[in-house]
Amino acid sequence: MRITVFVRSTVCIFCTSVASGQSMPWPWAARVESFVPAAAGEHPRLLFRKGGIPALRRRAATDRGRAMIAHLKVLLGGGEVMPTRYCNDPPVNYLREDWVKKQPVGTYTVTHGAGFGFLYVLTGKKKYADLSRRCVEKVFAGQVDRDSRYNWKTPGTGFRCSLVLQGICMAYDFCYDAWDEDFRKQVVTRVQAMNQPKFAQPGKKPKYYCTLEHLAKGGKYPPGSNHFGAYLLGPGLAALTFRGDPGADDKQIDVLLATVEANLSRLLGGGFGDHGWFAEGTSCGRISANNGVLPLLQSLKIAGGKDYISPRPHGRYTVLHLMYTIVPTGKSMNESRGKYYPVPSRARIPHRGDYGNDNLYERPIISHMGDFAQGMGAVLPREARAMAWIHKNFVELSDQEKWNAPFYPHLAVYAFVNWPDETTDPDEVLPRTMVDETHGYYVTRNRWQNRDDIVVTTLLKRGPHCYKSGRVRRGTFVWGLGDRVVFGGLEGKTSHYRSAPDGSMELADESGNALAVDFSSTSGAMAVVAVLGKVKPARVGKARITELVVRGKPVTVMTLAADAHPRPSVDGGMINVGGQRITVGEGKLTLVRLSSVEASRRGIRK
């Protein structure tokens, strides 16, 4: 078995060491080769340049393109006139999920202007630019989004501003040539001079006002907060959109962009780890990525000539780490109720932390949307094709595709621009084992195939922490064949790690706890998971769990098998599981395969 060796003092072949929050010895971004900055008044520039429009129009003429445009128009409420449904809920600073769920598809959002603007780009028909303008005027007039936390006049928090600004900037960028100069200057002036009071209860003063400078600094939040990354998107897009245009203050813009990029580096090194794990857990990381990092990376590359995507894994793995954990079960486990219930997507993930559960797309709110639509523009092309495969086979529930954009028009635009024409089996692109060295997050899976895939995730106790880090559950989660098993155990610093191409791995911490995962099928099972140390496995499903004592040390062995389970047994300092041996050493478990001769002598079929 070919093994990749890793110990705490070295670097694994597919992960990069990072000291959280510290400056790095090599640049975060590379200059985009042959990049030509947009001239004053040259638009679009955020998602694509003018030279890319013919290819987009050709795509719009294909069967898939027509279907994607038809879906965009559904989200716009028809796509030919202003939407007829508007949210009448008052602005708030707390989520009322029941309020959001009652809003039908096509209800006005703060990104409707972006959707109509994109139709103008594709068709050249001025009526779409006029509809886009009317939608932006409604934003400035105070019309709330389908989720009333998002609005221009009294946003719920600073990070709600970024969605509002994203919609305004995209609409301006797409419709620049069709809008008159006075209106364009009005947009630039209002955004640059924004000083929006944070929502406050009647009779109370707002705690702060949202300016572009306030947002660019991340408010008063640290990089490990889910708010921090979302704060950066708005001012970043505003600077990239307006730079050089009539009415723009380029001095202010240059300072804004420098501040945003400096804080983006802090976020990727001190909130997210080197392979995408976030200080506050799964859903908090998706908030910071979907509402911040992913669209910002794409526009920094296209409009700013800065490539934060290729040089390091940090940025693109804010979404790619999810690709390692998705399992298409069709059901979700509501742990608080302890029962299964149907959900609107097949995609499940081993969730850790606050603001969500194991179902990837259960909540109808913007911070839980867009991983694929926006993420495909912030990864390498081959990785985007692997993401498209995963979405098609693991996420989309029916033949009525929505391209990861169930409610918001701007996500349908990102999907149209970013979705690759072809898919690639993830096994040809992604290694089966992923390590976030910063946080001690280890993920391995046996394959990408179907609902019987087996995924093992372990989170140790290290790396940056933040407000909600205490709600992030540590330990090892094992998913597969309908089972969901949670082990305690590993939490300290890594003392030993090695992995094999088939996803098998060994892991140990400095406290003497260890984990071994065998995906070779040598045992006769699809997977064997062994844990050294005192653990109390909490189990759901029918996995077979055997508790053993080897040389006075407790070892828990779990087998996952479609048919008969091999029975683990102790042989001196080893555990035999079918044709697989596991040696138990000092704070370490080692996978050792039996030779063909010995396996034959024992009557074991390999």
pLDDT score at 254:
97
* pLDDT tens per residue, range 40-52: 999 999 999 999 9
* pLDDT tens per residue, range 295-318: 999 999 999 999 999 999 999 999
* pLDDT tens per residue, range 360-388: 988 889 989 999 999 999 999 999 999 99
* DSSP helix/strand/coil, 479: strand
In Å, what is the CA distance from 529 to each residue of 106, 259, 480, 518, 585? Answer: 47, 46, 12, 6, 16
Of 233, 306, 245, nearest to 43 (Cα)?
Answer: 245
Of 528, 529, 516, nearest to 589 (Cα)?
Answer: 516
pLDDT score at 255:
97
* pLDDT tens per residue, range 151-195: 999 998 888 999 999 999 999 999 999 999 999 999 999 999 999
In Å, what is the CA distance from 129 to each residue of 69, 83, 299, 319? Answer: 16, 15, 22, 32
Q: Which residue carries 């955004």 as its tokens?
A: 191
* pLDDT tens per residue, range 67-98: 999 999 999 999 999 999 999 999 988 888 88
pLDDT score at 96:
82
User: In the chain, what are the domain boundaries?
Assistant: 4-10+430-601, 56-418
Supply the DSSP string of 508-571, one letter for each residue.
EETTS-EEEEE-S-TTSSSEEEEEES----EEESS-EEEEEEETTEEEEEEEE-SSPPPPPEEE
pLDDT score at 364:
87
Q: Is the pLDDT of residue 7 over 50?
A: no
* pLDDT tens per residue, range 447-477: 999 989 999 999 998 889 999 888 898 889 9
pLDDT score at 486:
84
Q: For the chain, first and last CA: distance in Å?
A: 14
* pLDDT tens per residue, range 97-141: 888 889 999 999 999 999 999 999 999 999 999 999 999 999 999
pLDDT score at 606:
36
Mean pLDDT of 230-236: 97
> What is the chain's mean pLDDT, rounded?
89
Q: Is the pLDDT of residue 535 over 90?
A: no
Q: Is the pLDDT of residue 522 over 70?
A: yes
> Would you state the structure tokens that stand for residue 519, as one six-digit string?
């995906």
* pLDDT tens per residue, range 556-583: 999 999 888 999 999 999 999 999 999 9
Of 327, 524, 557, nearest to 443 (Cα)?
Answer: 327
* DSSP helix/strand/coil, 254: helix
Tell me which fold the domain 56-418 belongs to.
Glycosyltransferase (1.50.10)
